[in-house]
Amino acid sequence: MENSLLDRRTAPGAAAGKGVREGKRENIVKARGLRKSYGKLRALDGVELNIATGSISGLIGPNGAGKTTVLKALLGLIDVQGDLEVAGMDPRAARHRLMDEVCFIADVGILPGWMTSRQLLDHVERVHFRFDRDRAEKLLATTEIPANKRIRALSKGMVTQLHLSVVMAIDASLLVLDEPTLGLDIMYRKTFYDRLLNDYYDGRRTIIISTHQVEEIEHLLTHLLFIDKGRIVLDLSLQAMAEHYVEVAVDPEQREAARRLGPMHSRELLGQLVCIYGGVARRQIEVLGEARTPAVADLFVARLAGEKGRQSEGNQHES
Amino acid sequence: MKAEMTRFGALLRKEVREHRNLLWITPTVVSLLLLLIFFLLVLGPLQNLGQSALFWAGSLLGNPPLRSAVAVPLFAAMPFAPAIFLTSIIYLTVCLYQDRKDRSFLFWQSMPVSDWQAVMARVVTAVFVIPAVFAPFVLLCLLCPLLYLAPAMADAGTGFAAGRALLLALDASVLFWCFTWLNGLLMLPVIGWFLLFSAYSKRVPFLWALGSIFLLALLEVWLLDSIWFVYWMNWTTRALVFGYGDVPATLFSYDMLVALILGGVLLTGAAFMRRFND
């Protein structure tokens, strides 16, 4: 089971359309020069984005980086400038038609509290013609969610499970998750992602996840998107990340050599120097100490620190 | 087409379920009050209705053709008109605002329903569904007094019987419903106005909507030295005093055309606001 899941994740688009079978990966999301301002605040500053069909992409960035704005733009919930195509449609012109193809979970609190879970299924069944009621019932049967209890009376974890069951019963090609496990305890968070991977993801569907809890989704991802100050600062596959970036715990006698090699980021960890390099041959690094692929969270910090460093250098040059 | 009708039907059902307290409690309270007043009167000061009073009532209800006699129970149904108006206004004020307040807006937006469909479901609820919910209450409030009085009036020799009472109550209820939805269409600009503010306001949408009306009226007086807007608002909200008119003539009048055009513009604004008010 684990192997087949891994195969599905590492071969994005494997079960997708003609282009994929011919070895060419189709992009379900294409964005060029997306811009959005709220007064003087520039939320999106020329976002360029391509998301391949069948991938699981993590949209990662600090607070206020523009993650939710990007996702809202993809869903047609806000108006943005620039070229944008999702599932072959412009979300700004055809949001409701796009929702036949796209599902999203914004966060745990958005289901209508006055409804019971049965009423919710009744409504979605009549409104969404790609919703499979039987599948939703089966998924809910594996949970402890009562059918006749109002949603406002359910726990946060139950509401999330209910929302996920509804979404998983919709035959959509793109699922957008914006901080889906915010405020949930670790049991529910783990169950959420396990169900997503085991019962929903089939290699044909595309998932975009935005979250602060990078460590929890790292093992799911096939693609990384780092966003900062309204711009995509890193866009690469996990495979490319493993090839391009190396983290090394430097041996004490190699500290000077490690610094000379120009790490993109370095830190002290329990008295040991840990450096992250990008675009440096692995064999050059392996002589410095124990080399490994950096964790996404560490790469994120390294990359953003690098960005800030470049910006402050630029500012000094300008002054 | 059938699928779209199913979808729209689901949207209406959702509105009725979501606002069930408002939609059921108001007509229940109004009906109970009216019936209470009637029975307090007939069992209290009017307990000993004189033969002549019963004969007079019977002559109004029993002898003339049904079409003329129906004016009496229709007049008696008048208190329901402002109740429907107020229920609709409260509903329109909260319906779009509530979605944003409880954040369920994002869930509704994740469904393949356009903003225009979502707004139209609210309009149909205000114009047709709310009066339809009131209809059985209106019928009940007309039928109970008529059936109660029918035996006494029959004994007074007026020829008014229970069958006639039932016919009058039904006829009056149907007419009441027709006038109400006709007035609802004439009030489309008011509906659009309140929906616009329901979609726009960050808080207190009712005050925003009402305050803006006063502001516009004041600006008109101040800048143009006229009271056209006040006059128009007074005319368009006549459902409060319940306008009885010729249904086909009103339906195909210029007033209706203006109401539909202005209402359409405001409803388009409400759909736009619902979508882009982030």
- Measured between CA atoms, how close is B256 to chain A, in angstroms? 31
**Which of chain A's residues have a Cβ under 8 Å away from the Cβ of B14?**
123
**Which of chain B's residues have a Cβ under 8 Å away from the Cβ of A110?**
103-107
Give the nearest chain B residue to A110 (CA atoms). Answer: B104
pLDDT of residue B114: 92
Q: Where are the domains of chain B?
A: 2-276
- Measured between CA atoms, how close is A120 to chain B, in angstroms? 10
Terminal alpha carbon distance of chain A: 59
* Interface contact B111-A99, CB threshold 8 A: yes
B110 touches chain A (CB under 8 A): yes
By percentage, how much of chain B surpasses pLDDT 90?
A: 33
pLDDT of residue B244: 55
Rounded alpha-carbon distances, angstroms, from residue B212 to A23, A26, A286, B188, B261: 60, 51, 71, 17, 20
- Model confidence at B238: pLDDT above 70: no
Q: What is the pLDDT of residues A161-171, one digit of tens each?
A: 899 889 989 98
**Which of chain A's residues have a Cβ under 8 Å away from the Cβ of B94?**
none
Q: What is the pLDDT of residues B157-191, one digit of tens each?
A: 777 777 888 888 888 888 888 888 888 888 899 99
Q: Which amino acid is at B7?
A: R
Best of A86, A89, A96 to mutate (most B CBs within 10 Å, chain B): A96
What strands, in cross-sheet order, belong to the sheet with A81-86? A41-52, A27-38, A81-86
- Measured between CA atoms, how close is A110 to chain B, in angstroms? 4
Measure the CA–CA gap between B45 and B211, rounded to whole angstroms.
44
- Per mean pLDDT, which of B8-22, B33-47, B205-219, B245-259 is the most reliable? B8-22
**Which of chain B's residues have a Cβ under 8 Å away from the Cβ of A148?**
none
ipTM over 0.85: no
Region of poorest pLDDT, from A89-103, B29-43, B58-72, B187-201? B58-72
- Measured between CA atoms, how close is A237 to chain B, in angstroms? 28
Give the nearest chain A residue to B13 (CA atoms). Answer: A123
B107 touches chain A (CB under 8 A): yes
Q: State the DSSP H helix or E strand holding residue A248, giving kind and residue range, or none if neither.
A: strand A245-250
Three-state secondary-structure class, residue B39: helix
pLDDT of residue A15: 40
More confidently predicted of B153 and A89: A89
In a domain, A18, yes or no: yes
B7 touches chain A (CB under 8 A): yes
Name the residue among B103, B111, B114 with its Cβ closest to that of A128: B111
**Residue with the two structure tokens 């408002």:** B22
Q: What is the DSSP-derived secondary structure letter of residue A25?
A: P
pLDDT of residue B17: 93
- Measured between CA atoms, how close is A93 to chain B, in angstroms? 11
* Interface contact B17-A112, CB threshold 8 A: no
Give the nearest chain B residue to A75 (CA atoms). Answer: B110
* Interface contact B276-A109, CB threshold 8 A: no
In a domain, A249, yes or no: yes
Helices (H) and strands (E) in chain B, counts: 15, 0
Q: What is the CATH number of the domain that holds A79?
A: 3.40.50.300
Best of A126, A173, A182 to mutate (most B CBs within 10 Å, chain B): A126
* Interface contact A112-B107, CB threshold 8 A: yes
Region of poorest pLDDT, from A188-192, B70-74, B233-237? B233-237
In a domain, A236, yes or no: no
Q: Which of A191, A208, A229 is the last residue of a domain?
A: A229
In a domain, A92, yes or no: yes
Name the residue among A99, A111, A119 with its Cβ closest to that of B17: A119
**Which of chain B's residues have a Cβ under 8 Å away from the Cβ of A78?**
276, 278
What's the mean pLDDT in B101-112? 89
**Which of chain B's residues have a Cβ under 8 Å away from the Cβ of A97?**
112
B1 touches chain A (CB under 8 A): no
When pLDDT is cut at 50, 70 and 90, the band that residue B92 belongs to is very high
Residue spans of chain A under pLDDT 70: 1-25, 108-109, 306-319
What domain range includes position A213? 2-229
A190 touches chain B (CB under 8 A): no
Q: Which of A229, A259, A292 is the last residue of a domain?
A: A229
The whole-chain average pLDDT of chain B stands at 85
* Interface contact B112-A123, CB threshold 8 A: no
Q: Which of A181, A208, A229 is the last residue of a domain?
A: A229
Claim to verify: residue A219 and residue A280 sit in the same structural domain: no
Q: Which amino acid is at B165?
A: A
- Measured between CA atoms, how close is B12 to chain A, in angstroms? 10
Q: What are the two backbone dihedrals, phi and then psi, of residue B48, each rounded to the nearest 5 degrees? A: -100, 65
More confidently predicted of B136 and B250: B136
A126 touches chain B (CB under 8 A): yes
A250 touches chain B (CB under 8 A): no
More confidently predicted of A166 and B146: A166
pLDDT of residue A118: 94
pLDDT of residue A12: 45
CB B168 within 8 A of CB B145: no
* Interface contact B104-A104, CB threshold 8 A: no
In a domain, A235, yes or no: no
In a domain, A76, yes or no: yes
Q: How many domains does chain A have?
A: 2
Other C-beta atoms lying within 10 Å of the C-beta of residue B46:
12
In a domain, A118, yes or no: yes
CA angle A61, A63, A65 (to 5 degrees): 55
Among the listed residues B119, B124, B134, the one whose alpha carbon sits nearest the alpha carbon of residue B242: B134
* Interface contact A79-B14, CB threshold 8 A: no
Chain A, residues 84-103, CB within 8 A of chain B, namely 95-100, 103
Claim to verify: residue A37 and residue A125 sit in the same structural domain: yes
Three-state secondary-structure class, residue A205: coil
pLDDT of residue B242: 53
Region of poorest pLDDT, from A118-122, A297-301, B49-53, B122-126? B49-53
B8 touches chain A (CB under 8 A): no
Measure the CA–CA gap between B266 and B259, rounded to whole angstroms.
10
B2 touches chain A (CB under 8 A): no
Chain B, residues 75-104, CB within 8 A of chain A, namely 102-104
In a domain, A113, yes or no: yes
Measure the CA–CA gap between A30 and A85, rounded to whole angstroms.
5
* Interface contact B104-A112, CB threshold 8 A: yes
pLDDT of residue A166: 92
* Interface contact B13-A123, CB threshold 8 A: yes
Among the listed residues A299, A33, A34, A76, the one whose alpha carbon sits nearest the alpha carbon of residue A176: A76
pLDDT of residue A33: 93
B14 touches chain A (CB under 8 A): yes
B17 touches chain A (CB under 8 A): yes
Q: What residues have CB less than 8 Å from B269, skipping those under 6 apart?
A: B192, B196
By percentage, how much of chain B surpasses pLDDT 70?
A: 90
